[in-house]
Amino acid sequence: MSPKTDPFAILPDMTAAEICATVLDREAHAFAAGLAATMLTGDPEGPHRARVALRRLRSAVWAFRPILRPKVADKLNDRARALFLMLGEIRDADVLLDAHVGPRLERVQLAEAAAEVRARIRRDLRDARALHFAARIEKLVATGKWRGRGSPARKLAEKPATTLARNALDRSWTACAADGPDILTMPDEVLHDLRKRIKRLRYLVEYFGPLWPGLAEAAWADDLRAMQDALGRYCDLKLAAERGVATGDPEEAAEATEAAAAIWAGFRLRQPFWRADSAEQASGPPLVQGQ
């Protein structure tokens, strides 16, 4: 789909307000689609896609907070987090079922448990009026009532989006780098937190990358996706092991972290694409120092 026909396309000349409205609207639609699949089918992709949309929405709220009304930002973040945690129970049950390679009887038991979880969470989602959340976001976008009222927020919202984007990407990248250079020596809890921060950085790169189109931006997006997949596989296998679920190759978890570690080591030597042509990059130190 070309930018001319894609209602959610992000273009290089957009203001911060235009990108914010586009992203909020896009994630509302994505969440509604994932939620519908969750409520109507047993496809594991339903809750997964709904959760991805909610995580992306929270990343957007984090990045665009300087131009959002504080109460709107807080409500969106809190509501998205609550629904994310609810859907997480379905996702965990599906992950355990997918990871299982043991006896058939155990797999049947896991399938039955997953079906029970799905039925319970569906009731909870109906009671929580989860679909109304997507409609609420769409209404906010249509009315513009998400916009911050103060003069600094209004001015920043109408500026080219690169100002806000560069700041958000800096903060996200610095938070990721703070965990250290070597994934293979990180405790599991640190690795889990890094995975979440990598997801946020990936989403911000996807939101703001079109402002600096080129090979460098594409390479960051591809490598972040690969690193997220590797860390995700490691975390899924750890969850299965903690729940006593038989999985396949015992070396797979180690291989996943090694793949992520190789990508991470390369990242720390790479110049951020959003700083390549800026005065800040030319005159100041690199964002990430050796640790």
pLDDT digits (tens, 9 = 90+) for 89-136: 998 888 777 776 667 767 788 888 889 999 999 999 999 999 999 999
DSSP code of residue 15 = B
Looking at residue 260, what is its pLDDT? 86
Range(s) of the domain holding residue 263: 161-274
Both tokens of residue 1? 């789909």
User: Which of 125, 143, 159 is a domain's end point?
Assistant: 159
Looking at residue 92, what is its pLDDT? 86
- The packing angle between helices 130-143 and 70-99, to 10°, is 140
Question: What are the distances in angstroms from CA 25 to CA 21, 31, 57, 183, 209?
Answer: 6, 10, 10, 35, 18
**Same domain for 183 and 89:** no
- The packing angle between helices 16-40 and 151-158, to 10°, is 90
Residue-wise pLDDT for 18-38, tens only, equals 999 999 999 999 999 999 999
Using DSSP's 3-state secondary structure scheme, residue 225 falls into: helix
**Same domain for 230 and 135:** no
Residue-wise pLDDT for 52-84, tens only, equals 999 999 999 999 999 999 999 999 999 999 999
Closest by CA position to 172, among listed 220, 222, 219: 220
**Same domain for 244 and 108:** no
Round to whole Å and give the CA distance between 208 and 169.
8
Question: In this structure, is residue 70 part of a structural domain?
Answer: yes
**Rounded CA Rg of the chain:** 20
Name the helix (H) or strand (E) containing 264. Answer: helix 252-267
**Same domain for 185 and 146:** no
Question: In this structure, is residue 98 part of a structural domain?
Answer: yes
Both tokens of residue 106? 């155990």
User: The domain spanning residue 15 has which CATH number?
Assistant: 1.40.20.10
**What's the mean pLDDT when you consider all of the chain?**
86
**Same domain for 125 and 21:** yes
Both tokens of residue 121? 């969470």
Residue-wise pLDDT for 151-203, tens only, equals 999 999 999 999 999 999 999 999 998 888 888 888 888 888 888 899 999 99
Tell me how many domains the chain contains: 2
Round to whole Å and give the CA distance between 220 and 216.
6
Backbone angles phi, psi at 34, to 5 degrees: -65, -40
Question: In this structure, is residue 1 part of a structural domain?
Answer: no
Question: In this structure, is residue 36 part of a structural domain?
Answer: yes
User: Which of 131, 159, 187 is a domain's end point?
Assistant: 159
Looking at residue 275, what is its pLDDT? 86
Q: Which amino acid is at 106?
A: E
Say what the pTM is: 0.84
